Structure 1
């Protein structure tokens, strides 16, 4: 497996640490690059957030609507149903972003790694 992945990581979050450790091992074994972004220090741009949301919406499961996808992206979604509302929520508190989120930019895919 060649290429690279990006993980939006919060070292204070146990799920994020677990995902990062797993991906570090996989990167070594399978030979891909892992970019680690501590999103509380280096927040994704609005354009990156829009791209990630687009990847999540495209990859959504059967019976899942966009609002459910937005709910997965935000920790405290409180009825968020549009990309603009997601951006506004993250603009107020970047910590509202769910973590970890893993993105394969080349394949146009993203996954919220919470379960």
Structure 2
């Protein structure tokens, strides 16, 4: 199991705690320190079954200052998330060929 984690985020910490409480083995990827590659993001988006734009945190200053009101292609949204990793919705938990966004944190229980 892999969790794309931001330790400063309450929902991310709650999701990680649920994984720990349920005895799941996991790898933590602090995506703000080491942003995912384009291939990793494409894989995550495919596993989630959403469009790249649906993975964008639209309340972030980076979104409001750089992207609000703009229409971008899927590749451009992915490039935006690589350039501004704070835009990536969090946390994302992956187990095998399934993934969920931990909002609410209980979503992770589908993978345990």
TM-score by length of 1: 0.72
Query: Once the 2 structures are TM-superposed, how far is the Cα of residue 70 of structure 1 from its aligned partner?
Result: 3.3
Match of 1:70 among 40, 46, 53: 53
Unaligned runs of 5+ in 1: 58-65
Query: Once the 2 structures are TM-superposed, how far is the Cα of residue 110 of structure 1 from its aligned partner?
Result: 0.9
Match of 2:101 among 102, 108, 112: 112
Higher relative contact order (CA 8 A, sep 6+): 2
Count of equivalent residues: 95
How far apart, in 2, do the equivalents of 1:43 and 1:97 lie? 10
How far apart, in 2, do the equivalents of 1:15 and 1:109 lie? 19
Superposition pairs of residues 76-95 of structure 1, within 5 angstroms = 76=58, 78=68, 82-95=73-86
Q: Deviations over 1:48-92 (max 9, x none)?
A: 1101111111xxxxxxxx54x732x11027566643022121132
- 1:8 corresponds to which residue? 4
Match of 2:43 among 51, 76, 83: 51
Task: Give the secondary structure class of the aligned counterpart of 2:81.
Answer: helix
Runs (4 or more) in structure 1 with deviation over 6 Å come to: none
Unaligned runs of 5+ in 2: 105-112
Task: Give the secondary structure class of the aligned counterpart of 1:7.
Answer: strand
The answer to whether residue 22 in structure 2 is matched with residue 19 in structure 1 is: no
The answer to whether the 8 A contact 1:7-1:100 is kept is yes
